[in-house]
Amino acid sequence: MPAPKTYFERRAAQERDAASQASDERAAQAHLELAERYAKLAEGGGEIDTRKETGAVLTAEFRILP
């Protein structure tokens, strides 16, 4: 299993690559934001926040999880 730093560096590179290949500007921006977050984690300067609200894609009546 790779070290966390190696994993986060690899994921940042993958997200930058995905951004460069994205056909939609919004998708490219999302990939670049993820790349930045992974790069911060690789440097040890970020935190994984599982509580962050990302916004529901589906309305409340269609959501299964709270």
CA gap 13, 61 in Å, rounded: 37
Listed in sequence order, the residues at least 6 apart from 35 whose beta carbon sits closer than 8 Å to its beta carbon are 12, 13, 15, 16, 19
Residue 2 is inside which H or E element, if any? none
pTM: predicted TM-score of the whole model, two decimal places: 0.66
**Per-residue pLDDT, 44:** 87
CB 33 within 8 A of CB 27: no
CA gap 57, 51 in Å, rounded: 17
pLDDT of 1 strictly over 60: yes
Domain boundaries, the chain: 1-44
Each residue's pLDDT tens digit, 2-51:
678 999 999 999 999 999 999 999 999 999 999 999 999 999 876 666 55
